């Protein structure tokens, strides 16, 4: 649309179904590249992507073309299919329902980038659940702790 100018930066967080540690070091970089391709093909810019075996973080420059929820649905769906087709896991791979999305200002790009790049170091001190609850509280997001990335039966 002519004369539309935006500057939107969104930090996404989502987990593997049941928070099972399925993302392995020998193929995680391939996964991140594949997911970067999905983001870029949707005209967004991947600023940082990283994670742990049970969850991941993406930080993107977001172009407001469609709903955020639709973008994450595509990223999760296409990446799950890609993992299955590659045979990276013996069992069924699925991302857990839901996600976190946190907006940031341009002045925070460097800080968020380094936070995501240093996930493995960060998680030597803090669990994923502790980290996620901290983000929700920091951003004043209303939530019911009973449903925050709980184990799904």
Digit-coded pLDDT (tens) for 104-133: 999 999 999 999 999 989 899 988 888 999
In this structure, is residue 153 part of a structural domain? no
What's the order of all strands across the beta sheet hosting 100-104? 45-52, 55-62, 8-15, 100-104
Is residue 152 within 8 Å of residue 54, measured between CB atoms? no
Is residue 127 within 8 Å of residue 36, measured between CB atoms? no
In this structure, is residue 119 part of a structural domain? yes
In this structure, is residue 132 part of a structural domain? yes
In this structure, is residue 96 part of a structural domain? yes
In this structure, is residue 133 part of a structural domain? yes
Average of pLDDT values for 78-90?
95
* Helix, strand, coil share (%) of the chain residues, nearest 5: 45, 20, 35
In this structure, is residue 152 part of a structural domain? no
Q: How confident is the model at residue 150 (pLDDT cuts 50, 70, 90)?
A: low
Whether residue 18 is predicted with pLDDT greater than 90 in this model: the reply is: no
In this structure, is residue 19 part of a structural domain? yes
Tokens of 30: 């391939």
Domain that holds residue 63: 8-147
- CATH number, position 143: 3.30.70.1290
Q: What is the number of structural domains in the chain?
A: 1
pTM of this prediction?
0.91
Calpha distance 148→14 (Å, rounded): 11
Give the DSSP H or E segment for 57. Answer: strand 55-62
In this structure, is residue 29 part of a structural domain? yes
Number of other residues whose CB lies within 10 A of the CB of residue 32: 19
Digit-coded pLDDT (tens) for 22-74: 999 999 999 999 999 999 999 999 999 999 999 999 999 999 988 999 999 99
Is residue 44 within 8 Å of residue 61, measured between CB atoms? yes
- Which residues have C-beta within 8 Å of that of residue 51, sequence separation ≥ 6? 23, 28, 57, 119
């Amino acid at each position: 649309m002519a004369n539309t100018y935006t500057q939107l930066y969104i930090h996404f967080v989502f987990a593997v179904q049941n928070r099972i540690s399925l993302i392995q070091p020998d193929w995680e970089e391939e996964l991140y590249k594949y997911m970067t391709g999905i983001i870029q093909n949707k005209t967004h810019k991947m600023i940082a992507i990283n994670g742990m075996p049970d969850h991941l973080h993406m930080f993107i420059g977001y172009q407001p073309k469609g709903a955020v929820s639709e973008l994450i649905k595509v990223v999760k769906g296409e990446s799950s299919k890609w993992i299955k087709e590659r045979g990276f896991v013996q069992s069924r791979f699925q991302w857990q329902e839901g996600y976190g999305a946190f907006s940031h200002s341009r002045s925070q790009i460097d800080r968020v980038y380094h936070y995501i790049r240093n996930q493995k170091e960060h998680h030597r001190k803090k669990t994923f659940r502790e980290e996620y609850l901290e983000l929700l509280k920091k951003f004043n997001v209303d939530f019911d702790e009973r449903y925050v990335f709980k184990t799904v039966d």
